[in-house]
Structure 1
Amino acid sequence: MSAPRRKPTPLPPLDGPFVAIDFETADHGPDSACAIGLARVENNKVVRREAVLIRPPRPRVMFTEVHGITWPMVQNASPFGDVWRGLLPIIEGAKFLAAHNASFDRRVLHACCIAAGLDVPALPFVCTVQIARRKWALKPANLPAVCRRLGIGLIHHHAGSDAEACARIILAAAALASAEAAN
């Protein structure tokens, strides 16, 4: 079953907390999360960061050259369902989830929740690729390029760093929108 196609929302008002999310996957299956990063933002500040390794459902990691995660690093990690249950308090009360290339992270979250027999969060997704293209006309709008342009520190393909960078892109876009509205 594939994730429902929902158009990512434009930058919503930051009148409540939001959570940026990033996944690294072990193989081509969307259920193969091997790492998750979350960054919770409240009152325009990152207030909590988490990065957790996950044991993927199949004993192989095909994308080590991308994210540096190997099977020995995750073979004794908790499976997604256990990890997600532990992370749920971070998304509690969030208005939306933000991700860089949101369709990927939405698809992984959906597949992993379904595979674990968990409810898929009903939160809307905001895509920071689209925001970067709209707000700063950036092309390419990959995460390293956007972070360089905005001066955001990044350890690319580290789920925690990617999630925090995504949160900071949302905050930068909101600050720009606020400055534009003031002028």
Structure 2
Amino acid sequence: MVPMNGTSLRDVPQDCFVALDFETADQGRDSACSVALVRVEKGTIVHREHRLIRPPRRTFQFTSIHGIRWSQVAEAPTFGELWPELASCLVGAHFIAAHNASFDASVMRACCDQAGLRPPSQPYLCTVKIARQAWNLRPTKLPDVCRHLGLSLKHHEALSDAEACANIVLAAISERHAPGR
């Protein structure tokens, strides 16, 4: 499986990883308005975290997609206020999994840059690429992959999306280790 930056699922230890999903308010990558992290240790989800974020602008172009409005995040912490608390979820994780990982990685970089924070050092593994390699799926939108694997999904709810990504990685690992593989 060939995720971002040439890192593959085979290349990294799989005993601990974090699945991540951002929702954004507008076209700017720094406009995260919701983030979810799902931590997996030894094949089991051990922690789920979802938080709303106050983006740097009041403009919400994507409310019709994720349902989040300015009024819901006006009193929420900014990414810079929130991330130091959430970053502890990544301690000891070998990689970050995300669906269309290049998007979530770019949101992370933009939000960290704006807040003057260092982005996580873990490589990102893309569950789109994992699904294409493991099951030869097309299309590979998150609902399609979840339907194939029998996973429940409330698409564009960050926690549901992140948990789906964690379960996609776990399914690919499980299949790779199945007898006869």
TM-score interval (norm. to shorter): over 0.9
Q: Which amino acid aligns with 2:43?
A: N
Aligned to 2:114: 115
Kindly report the root-mean-square deviation, in angstroms, between the aligned alpha carbons of the 2 structures.
Answer: 1.2
Q: Name the counterpart of 2:91.
A: 92
Q: Matched residues in 2 for 1:134 and 1:49: separation? A: 27
TM alignment of 1:25-36, pairs within 5 A: 25-36=24-35
- Could you list the runs of 5+ residues in structure 1 that have no partner in the other structure? 1-5
Q: How far apart in 1 are the matches of 2:98 and 2:109?
A: 14
Aligned counterpart, 1:49: 48
Distance between the aligned counterparts of 2:14 and 2:177, measured in 1?
Answer: 13
What's the CA shift string for 1:115-153, capped at 9, x where partnerless? 000011111010000010111111110000000100111
The residue type paired with residue 165 of structure 1 is: A
The answer to whether the 8 A contact 1:35-1:53 is kept is yes
Residue 179 of structure 1 corresponds to 178
CA drift of 1:14 comes to 4.2
Which runs of structure 1 show a deviation greater than 4 angstroms over 4 or more consecutive aligned residues?
Answer: none
Aligned residues: 177
> Which blocks of at least 5 consecutive residues in structure 2 are unaligned?
none
Contact 1:23 1:108 in 2 (8 A): yes
| In the alignment, structure 1 residue 124 sits paired with structure 2 residue 139 | no
- Measured against aligned partners, the alpha-carbon deviations of 1:8-50 in whole angstroms (never above 9, x if no partner) come to 5221354431000000000000000000010000010010001
Following superposition, the deviation at residue 60 of structure 1 comes to: 1.6
Q: Could you tell me which residue of structure 2 aligns to residue 11 of structure 1? A: 9
The TM-score normalised by the length of structure 1 is 0.93
Structure 2 residue matching 1:179: 3-state secondary structure:
coil
Match of 1:3 in 2: none
Structure 2 Cα separation of the partners of residues 8 and 140 of structure 1: 22
Contact residue 8 and residue 127 of structure 1 kept, 8 A: no
Q: TM-score, normalised by structure 2?
A: 0.94
2:71 matched residue in structure 1:
72
Structure 1 residues 8 and 168: alpha-carbon distance in aligned structure 2, compared to 1, 3 A threshold? farther
Q: Paired residue for 2:169?
A: 170
Name 2:81's counterpart in structure 1: 82
